[in-house]
Amino acid sequence: MNFQGKNILVTGASSGIGRQIAVDLAHGGARLFLLGRDYSKLEETRSLCNSTESITLIAKDLNDIDFIDFIEKHIDSPLDGVVLNAGKVKINPVAFINRNDIDDIFDTNVKSNMLLTQFLLRKRKLNKNSSVVFVSSIATRKPTVGNSVYNASKSALNGFAHSLALEVAVKGIRVNTVLPGFVETNILVRARTEDEIKKHLFDYPLGRFGTPSDISNLVCFLLSDDASWITGAQIPIDGGFSMK
């Protein structure tokens, strides 16, 4: 897809889905602002892109109290696209969750995304007809055991994105949410045992888990002009998992 002349911010760009989205957007000619906690991993992402000169790296934890001020110093141009992909997974049954778990997951998955979006709107960092894509989870439609806090956080994110889409439509800004099933990334593999992963595979009618490229293809479409009449959508991309 052609993203020549477009400025796009991608959070959680250090690895996995965010890294693949960054690479695909760079190959399409976008100028990128890549946000992640680990600068060295962001450099690895940049090295996979076809143009290092048009990529700004922003190494910052979204849970840091000063992250908005830090980001403002690095985004020097209005954006045509935003991918809010940064997130955290922690598997824990309800009987074992605590306040720290809840705060940690909600701070990362919900609050930071809300505050970053608010900043971009207040500072007029989003161009007219720009596109915002939230990376949520199919767990919000089909929960699994031990996923209560994560599921609740992503459900809150879905609600925020839905309301945001209505508020900014008058400016021509589109807001959509993708709901991935199990994607083969280091974060999700670490969250499950090998036996759990093998058992979970039987729940996927297409017979495989997703790849970062699967998710990136959908996200890039939603960022592109080809999706100019799509907003407020919550799109499952889960190999048929939610059908069963």
Catalytic residue numbers read: 150
CA neighbor of 82 nearest in space, from 135, 23, 137, 5: 135
For 108-143, b/e burial (b = at least 16 CB within 10 A) is bbbbbbeebbebbbeeebbbeebbbbbbbbbbbbbe
CA-based torsion, 62, 58, 188, 24: positive or negative: positive
Output DSSP code: residue 210: B
Element (H, E) at 72: helix 67-72
For 162-199, b/e burial (b = at least 16 CB within 10 A) is bebbeebeeeebbbbbbbbbbbebeebeebbeeeeeee
Measured between alpha carbons, how far is residue 46 from residues 33, 56, 95, 217 in Å?
10, 9, 42, 19
* Alpha-carbon span 89 to 84, nearest angstrom: 15
Q: Are 49 and 32 in contact (CB under 8 A)?
A: yes
Task: Say how many residues make up the chain.
Answer: 244
Partners of residue 56 on adjacent β-strands: 33
